[in-house]
Structure 1
Amino acid sequence: MSQLEELIQEGEKVKQSCYHNSEYGGYLDGEAYEMWIAKCTIYLEQKEFPKSQVDKFKTAASSAVGNSVSYYEQMIGILKAILAMKLDTVQSVRHLHDFKDKPKLFISHSSKDKEVCNKLVDLFHDIGVQTQDIFYSSLEEHGVPLGEDFLDYIKERFNNNVFVIFVLSRDFYESKICLAEMGAAWVKSAEYLPILIPPINYQDMEGVIRPTKNSMLINDVKKLDSLKTKIESIFDIQSAIDFQRWQRKRDEYIDAINVFIEGNRPNDFDVHIVEFLDTHVKNSRVKLKMKNNTRRVIKPVEIEIYAKDEENNEIKDVFDDYLVTSIILKPFEETVLYLDLNSNNQNFKKRKIKKLSTHNEWDDLG
């Protein structure tokens, strides 16, 4: 029992022993009452309680002895209010401590992979992980509240008891924020699991996460079952999803992921127009980005550029084909190329060009 609680109990006893009746009503008087008031005043002055409450107590105390019992009721009410405030503060601190000690799930990902990562987060919910225990910045309910500083929010709520999921893709490795998160997890020795989005595979893993680290493909059935068991253990999930329902949710997830992967599978060699730098056909320039999406060395040979009108119809014989020399792309390498365009169709009206597209040829150097 705290000292404040003892003073409240003592005050209730003092009221019974020091209470008197008169023609003007009840009042409190006596040495025990005065001593109790003095002890309460000294206690309140020694502690960091709200000054307004302490001043109210002292004002009531200055007129309490020998006067109406209402002064006592005011003093005891202030003590009980301060006690309630203390208990609320202790409970809040305990709640924050419990919140920070609870395990958290951090989904480190590229925002460009939001579509597939959303499905992964939904699967974690199906397993039984609560919304407040997941940090995933691409969904508002899992991210930083509006107006909060990102770094301060993470520092306040997450300690070493965090399980990090790295959703690895080519876009992940191109994100400075993702690479920083990877390095931070490695430095803090936080437990983590790399999950790969094909076509990236184990040989493509870079940075501080080595290919020898236990990892999984995002659509691996057996490892998803193992991940479910691990998540249930980390978060101490008591009401686990029953196995038949889990199989159905898992298979629905895998079907959706496979559709995403197939629909987003890049060409082995991709060339796309970044910018058409001049609306004139004569002496126009186009900025191209070429990317090797394979684990082989390739050499671009020829690029054909097609002009299209506002109805997306191809306009024939507008530009010459371009032979590419002295460019070799290593696995997953990309480069930028500027081409000056010269139309071979003298009668073509320049204003009709609305869009440019390409067709490419390349050699596989192995």
Structure 2
Amino acid sequence: MDIIQKLSFEIDGVLGYISDYNGNSETKAFEDNIKRSLNTGNGEEVLFILEQIHDWYERNYDDIMGNDFVMSKEKEAHYNNKEKIANYIEDLRKMKKEAPLNFKQSENSKPGSKPLKQKIFISHSSDDKEVCKAFVDFLERLGIEEDQILYSSSSRHGIPAEMDIFNFLRGEIDGGITVYYMLSDNYYSSPYCLNEMGAAWVKQNDSKTFILPNLTGGIRGVIDDGNKGYALNDSYDLIQLKNNLCKEFNLKVTEGKFDDIKQNLLNEARNVHQ
């Protein structure tokens, strides 16, 4: 992955911290200008705007660190953010010495290169981890790859070691990860789950809604209650889900194999106490 691709993935998170602290016209201009430059592949403009963002941090950093209303985790995030921007500037300046900063044809656009993978975040209550584990198995057996799934109740699909959970999830949501809401009474009673829901809604992430058997109050919160969602204990809903995922991820699965995959999830879902 080249530096412009990497920055394109991380820029929403980088700018999100700045906007949360001071969402004025200056910080809005940073967002508009750098996203335009990233889209056109103009590395010279990207470098210039990053230098402006770094200057903003130089002017505001002491105020951020001394602000009693900024929590310690947020201060740490701003420190890391400032260092990340400085590293990008250093890398781009080194590249500029060797060649013009023109990234109109990135590695990902070259013939034969692999497209960037779409990622899924399983937003769930830990009290529902058994049925959600069966759902993750359902996705993998359909052909969705392990590294495309973020599921915090699994060591294989969870938060990388030594990473701050809050910052990592925020970065993934800021980066546009697709959110699968696993709705249940447990989900709605969890402040942590509701925070995830709200954060993804604010960022307007793509999402799908899934109804666990122990949801008794219907769809609530910022999710559109006109969205029926997929019921995990409904065979027809799982067939529709499979058809949609096969189109979305370019998957192929035989009917016989899918019958087995579907039945395993139905069995687990129907074991959930309502």
With the shorter chain as reference, the TM-score category is 0.5 to 0.7
8 Å CA contact 1:101, 1:159 repeated in 2: no
1:257 corresponds to 2:269 = yes
Match of 1:218 in 2: 232
Residue of structure 1 aligned with 2:255, choices 243, 254, 262:
243
Mapped partners of 1:103, 1:249: distance in 2:
22
Mapped partners of 1:225, 1:191: distance in 2:
21
What pairs with 1:75-114 in structure 2 (closer than 5 Å)? 94=107, 101-114=116-129
CA 1:99 to 1:213, structure 2 compared with 1: closer, same or farther past 3 Å?
Answer: farther
Q: Which amino acid aligns with 2:215?
A: I
Range 103-112 or range 223-232, more displaced: 223-232
**CA positional deviation for 1:189:** 1.9
Mapped partners of 2:258, 2:232: distance in 1:
16
Query: Could you report, residue by residue, the CA deviation over 1:299-350 in whole angstroms, capped at 9, with x for unpaired residues?
Result: xxxxxxxxxxxxxxxxxxxxxxxxxxxxxxxxxxxxxxxxxxxxxxxxxxxx
Counterpart of 2:156 in 1: which secondary structure? helix
Larger radius of gyration: 1
Residue of structure 1 aligned with 2:208, choices 193, 196, 200:
193
Mapped partners of 2:205, 2:94: distance in 1:
39
1:230 corresponds to 2:244 = yes
**CA positional deviation for 1:255:** 1.8
**CA positional deviation for 1:181:** 1.1
Query: Could you report, residue by residue, the CA deviation over 1:121-167 in whole angstroms, capped at 9, with x for unpaired residues?
Result: 00000111100000000001111111012233335556554321111
Mapped partners of 1:236, 1:156: distance in 2:
26
Mapped partners of 2:198, 2:263: distance in 1:
33
What pairs with 1:165-204 in structure 2 (closer than 5 Å)? 165-201=180-216, 204=218
Match of 2:130 in 1: 115
Identity across matched positions, percent: 29
Counterpart of 1:211 in 2: which secondary structure? coil
Relative to its length, the structure with more strand (as a share) is 1
Range 151-160 or range 131-140, more displaced: 151-160
**CA positional deviation for 1:101:** 4.4
- Give the CA RMSD over aligned residues: 2.9
Mapped partners of 1:150, 1:99: distance in 2:
29
Mapped partners of 2:214, 2:133: distance in 1:
19
CA 1:158 to 1:170, structure 2 compared with 1: closer, same or farther past 3 Å?
Answer: closer
**CA positional deviation for 1:213:** 1.5
What pairs with 1:152-171 in structure 2 (closer than 5 Å)? 152-157=167-172, 161-171=176-186
Mapped partners of 1:162, 1:48: distance in 2:
31
Mapped partners of 2:114, 2:185: distance in 1:
34
- The total of aligned residue pairs comes to 171
Mind listing any 5+ residue stretches in structure 1 that lack a counterpart?
1-46, 50-81, 83-89, 266-366
Match of 1:130 in 2: 145
Mapped partners of 1:117, 1:102: distance in 2:
22
Query: Could you report, residue by residue, the CA deviation over 1:15-61 in whole angstroms, capped at 9, with x for unpaired residues?
Result: xxxxxxxxxxxxxxxxxxxxxxxxxxxxxxxx849xxxxxxxxxxxx
What pairs with 1:265-344 in structure 2 (closer than 5 Å)? 265=274
Q: Which amino acid aligns with 2:230?
A: M
Mind listing any 5+ residue stretches in structure 2 that lack a counterpart?
1-92
Q: Which amino acid aligns with 2:224?
A: R
Mapped partners of 1:158, 1:211: distance in 2:
22
Mapped partners of 1:99, 1:193: distance in 2:
25
Q: Which amino acid aligns with 2:137?
A: D
Mapped partners of 1:234, 1:160: distance in 2:
19
TM-score between the two structures when normalised by the length of structure 1: 0.42
CA 1:166 to 1:99, structure 2 compared with 1: closer, same or farther past 3 Å?
Answer: farther
Higher RCO by CA contacts (8 Å cutoff, separation 6 or greater): 2
Mapped partners of 2:207, 2:116: distance in 1:
17
8 Å CA contact 1:100, 1:157 repeated in 2: no
Counterpart of 2:261 in 1: which secondary structure? helix
What pairs with 1:39-54 in structure 2 (closer than 5 Å)? 48=94
Mapped partners of 1:160, 1:215: distance in 2:
24
Match of 1:291 in 2: none
Mapped partners of 1:242, 1:186: distance in 2:
35
Mapped partners of 1:171, 1:251: distance in 2:
24
8 Å CA contact 1:99, 1:157 repeated in 2: no
Q: Which amino acid aligns with 2:168?
A: Y
